Amino acid sequence: MKQHIARVMLRLTRWTVVGERPTETKYVLIAAPHTSNWDLFYMLLVSFHYDVRLSWLGKHSLFRGPLGAVMRRLGGIPVRRDERSQMVAELARRFQASDTLVIAIPPEGTRGRSDWWKSGFYRVAEAADVPIVCAYLDYPSRTGGYGPSIRPTGDVGSDMDQLREYYSGVVAKYPDQAGPVRLRAEQSTDAG
């Protein structure tokens, strides 16, 4: 039923899904770029289109009051960004305990501009020994979908080069809010 509703909603909003459903049953899904609240809505529609049960990380304030139950039912996992936690280890345990699990992580960590991506998506994939699948929403073309699967090699620079190549033509809803595809550790190497 969700798949049918998603296809109707995508058609009504003139969005097209591009790409195939990944063959893997467990993976970290990069949700990028992330500059608008609409990103979650369209990413859920794309996932429903693929018939993928998506879990996703969101700031804890989204899960307050009656809306919290709806967000959890839609796959939301609250994250407190103001506290240090063992989120990587916790998510790795979830992967190990599940036969099927897809967790979407917006690597920018915020809708506002950031000069680098947070490394959590990479560290979770490494710790859980699962691939990273690229997902995107390109607002000018009104296309979205899932792209290639990348297994972390430990060579972060090389892996990030693949992600930079994939996301190079993707345009966010608010392009001026989308930061570069790089990790904080790469920032110092860019300057020299």
For the cut 60, the answer to whether the pLDDT of residue 189 exceeds it is no
Which pLDDT tens digit goes with each residue over 56-106?
A: 888 888 889 888 989 899 888 888 766 667 889 999 999 999 999 999 998
Question: Does one domain contain both 43 and 65?
Answer: no
Compute the residue count for the chain.
192
d(CA 188, CA 124): 23
Q: Is residue 138 part of a domain?
A: no
**Closest to 33 in 3D by CA, of 88, 111, 103:** 111
Question: Does one domain contain both 46 and 93?
Answer: no
DSSP letters spanning 32-90: E---STHHHHHHHHHHHHHT--EEEEEEGGGGSHHHHHHHHHTTEEEE-TTS---HHHH
d(CA 61, CA 50): 28
Q: How confident is the model at residue 37 (pLDDT cuts 50, 70, 90)?
A: confident
Question: Does one domain contain both 44 and 87?
Answer: no
Strand order from edge to edge, sheet including 143-150: 16-18, 143-150, 132-138, 26-32, 101-105, 54-59, 76-79
What global pTM score does this model have? 0.87
Which pLDDT tens digit goes with each residue over 135-160?
A: 999 999 999 999 999 999 989 989 99
Domain enclosing residue 8, as ranges = 1-17+38-54
Domain total for the chain?
2
